[in-house]
Structure 1
Amino acid sequence: MKVLVTGGAGFIGSHLADALMEAGNEVRVLDNLSAGSLENIRRWLDEERFEFVKGDIRNPKTVRKAVEGVDVVFHLAANPEVRIGAQSPELLYESNVTITHKLLSAMRDSNVKFLVFTSSSTVYGDAEVIPTPENYAPLEPISVYGGAKLAAEALISGYAHTFGFRALIFRLANIIGERSNHGVIYDFINKLRRTPEELEILGDGTQRKSYLHVSDTVEGMLQIFEYFRKGSKIADFYNLGNDDWITVREIAEIVSEEMGLKPEFRFTGGVDGGRGWKGDVKFMRLSIEKAKKTGWEPKLNSYEAVRRTVRELLKIL
């Protein structure tokens, strides 16, 4: 295949680009490097099958040229920070909805057959059914981030049905691993580096969520895409997560243990019943039964993924 990966120099995007290159595909990465890094894809820059385009999806000429001649677009470009929604909803809308609309407009005039989009578990909000299946309704995001992801999903589905391409949408749990530069594990490590004797923990520590290592994520995306492309659905949705979940306090304990520290935990108490911030979903675990039916299953559970990620980040931070 000839593949375009938007956000391909970022955390998940660069791991996806690695896997696509290792499988022998032609890969074009479009990234403005606002969150990504050339270091993440440096190993491929001199490869004939690899092309890096530094550019912004909001530029019509840039994105139109980027989609030329590709068979599938993996759309991962976005602002990954959930918490920014309370301070700058405009930025989240622009970096999730606006850029998706620009990409879809470019695809409308091209012969791209498939679009794969990384959405988020936040589209479910405070789901009353846990583990939460893909057909859960009504979808009621409680953060601007979740709302922006849901808006992007709706646009993609509408464009796919109207303009003749097929769309696969992944709703991701918390994805962690090497090259991540945000999130609870990253924050804990940096806080403990600054003050080894104390660790501030947002919320009451009882927040419980599912975590998936990026290696399992990329494997799932590619395996399910192969399953999807052999079918006939115009648009389909898959959760990617784990069968178990882990509390924020347990993550803090693992990070402290791996760093050889015994800090005093200081909980902020949080908002709205112990959440870390306004819009934080306190309990999240996705049903992955639909994904498992395609033959995919995560190799690492949430606890194993957290511990492996801590060790990976400690090598570079």
Structure 2
Amino acid sequence: MIETKILVTGGAGFIGSHLVDKLMEEGHDIRVLDDLSAGTLDNLKHWANHERFEFIRGDMRNPEVVAEAVKGVETVFHLAANPEVRIGSQSPELLYKTNILITYNLLNAMRGSNVRYLIFTSSSTVYGEAKIIPTPEDYGPLEPISVYGGAKLAAEALISGYAHTFGFKALIFRLANIVGKRSNHGVIYDFINKLRQRPDELEILGDGTQKKSYLHVSDTISGMLTLFEYFKNTNKTVDFYNLGNDDWITVREIAEIVTEEMGLNPELRFTGGVDGGRGWKGDVKFMRLNIEKAKKTGWRPKLSSYGAVRKSVRGLLLTM
């Protein structure tokens, strides 16, 4: 069992709220810290009056808010972040504040606390354009091609430095593209919105050959909790795990699944993209993570990339 009390930063968001659901179901005392900039209380309303649930609305850019949130906590799942990769080309300052600065504030607050474990959701974008696919955790040198990826890598480095210096254990997950209900950004969400506005045509960023690995949020949560239990029993101060899938899927194939599930037959219009067919500047065109290290602990995804995408489309169509 995971030590209680547990703090989940970003717990009102897409992945965070699914994590809160699972931790509450397991009987833990949960405190959520979220400023609701990307998340919503609707994701947590079923726990609102539960005696083991506490919600703090606060901005992690304020060190006092973070210091208060970590009081009495032994384990922190740090999911708070700006989840939009594309924002890096528009506002690097915002990505710094909502990824690096908030992580720094959390780590500083942890120095004077009883926190023993920090679990951080990083991203496959830290690998950049990897020359080895599927990409293992020990791939290097890490060369992100987006400001988002750079911010995630900076947060990883801070966490590692603080863990080794100040005596807590840190587990870092490098996530593939995570999909499922409650998601409010990403290619599936965008396609559904576009088709609802114009059912006869679907604009697709890039040339459609972008190919990536997708993981359903249910498999993500099971992976995080399984690997955390395993990590606690190791002698490592910091460890890294990829969470993704063994297969991958193209943007065109995702578009075809979405249109099929919506019962539509639109014209697919590709923008052509930038830099050889990428959807945007900084978009990693081909991404598949090596998940053998995670699978050795007994975890493996139940849904393939294709299955994850189809289940996500069906879930979003019911809730969007």
Please indicate the TM-score interval, normalised by the length of the shorter structure: over 0.9
Does the alignment pair 1:43 with 2:50?
no
Give the corresponding residue for 1:151: 154
- Specify the SS of the correspondent of 1:14: helix
Q: Pick from 183, 187, 212: which aligns with 1:184?
A: 187
Which residue type is aligned with residue 62 of structure 1? Answer: V
Shift of 1:71: 1.1
TM-score (norm 1): 1.00
In structure 2, runs of 5+ residues without a counterpart are none
Alignment of 1:250-269 (within 5 A): 250-269=253-272
**In structure 2, C-alpha distance between the alignment counterparts of 1:134 and 1:60, rounded to whole Å:** 32
Shift of 1:65: 1.1
Shift of 1:2: 1.1
Cα deviation code 1:120-163 (max 9, x no counterpart): 00000000000000000000000000000000000000000000
**In structure 2, C-alpha distance between the alignment counterparts of 1:131 and 1:46, rounded to whole Å:** 44
Give the corresponding residue for 2:238: 235
**In structure 1, C-alpha distance between the alignment counterparts of 2:65 and 2:98, rounded to whole Å:** 16
In structure 1, runs of 5+ residues without a counterpart are none
**In structure 2, C-alpha distance between the alignment counterparts of 1:235 and 1:316, rounded to whole Å:** 38
Give the corresponding residue for 1:86: 89
Which residue type is aligned with residue 14 of structure 1? Answer: S
Shift of 1:237: 0.2
Q: Considering only aligned residues, what root-mean-square deviation do their CA atoms show, in Å?
A: 0.5
**In structure 2, C-alpha distance between the alignment counterparts of 1:232 and 1:202, rounded to whole Å:** 45
Q: Pick from 270, 276, 281: which aligns with 2:279?
A: 276
Which residue type is aligned with residue 184 of structure 1? Answer: V
Q: Pick from 280, 293, 297: which aligns with 2:296?
A: 293
4+ residue segments displaced more than 3 Å? none
Shift of 1:111: 1.2
- Specify the SS of the correspondent of 1:203: coil
Give the corresponding residue for 2:70: 67
TM-score (norm 2): 0.99
Shift of 1:258: 0.2
- Specify the SS of the correspondent of 1:134: coil
**In structure 2, C-alpha distance between the alignment counterparts of 1:137 and 1:34, rounded to whole Å:** 33
Shift of 1:164: 0.5
Give the corresponding residue for 2:177: 174
**In structure 2, C-alpha distance between the alignment counterparts of 1:134 and 1:61, rounded to whole Å:** 35
Q: Pick from 90, 103, 108: which aligns with 2:106?
A: 103
Shift of 1:66: 0.5
Identity %: 77
**In structure 2, C-alpha distance between the alignment counterparts of 1:6 and 1:96, rounded to whole Å:** 12
Does the alignment pair 1:135 with 2:158?
no
Shift of 1:61: 1.7
**In structure 2, C-alpha distance between the alignment counterparts of 1:67 and 1:131, rounded to whole Å:** 37
Are the equivalent residues in 1 in contact too, given 2:61–2:98 (CA < 8 A)? no
**In structure 1, C-alpha distance between the alignment counterparts of 2:5 and 2:293, rounded to whole Å:** 27
Shift of 1:218: 0.4
Aligned residues: 317
